[in-house]
Amino acid sequence: MSEQTEKVDDAQSPPKIKKKFRKGDLVKVDREKYSNSLESKASDSNLPEYIFQGPGEVLLLKGDYCQIRWRRPVPDVWINIDHIVSF
């Protein structure tokens, strides 16, 4: 009997996704990245200053977006991960 050992090629395995943020991380919105984005053109141009000053806490991650809770009595918001930076 001949034994065949299967080697998993790195090209066949799915790429590992490196996450920038995790639940509980403190973040703020990068003004330059956000102002040059498609989302900024679709949103109100007069944003509150506290989102750029931080900190906001990451509550949930889904795809390219994360839900952020600010330390103020305001609703949680979904922001693209590319537009936020660590606090």
Domain membership flag for residue 19: no
**Residue spans of beta strands (DSSP E) within the chain:** 26-29, 56-62, 65-70, 77-80, 84-86
Domain membership flag for residue 58: yes
Domain membership flag for residue 10: no
Of 15, 19, 33, 4, give the one whose Cα is nearest residue 64: 19
Domain membership flag for residue 38: yes
Domain membership flag for residue 63: yes
pLDDT at 18: 63
pLDDT at 75: 95
Q: How many domains, the chain?
A: 1
Domain membership flag for residue 78: yes
Query: Which residue's entry shows tokens 């799915």?
Result: 14
pLDDT at 74: 95
Global confidence as pTM: 0.72
Radius of gyration of the chain (CA): 19
Residues of the chain with pLDDT under 70: 1-11, 13-19
Domain holding 69, by residue range, is 26-86
pLDDT at 15: 66
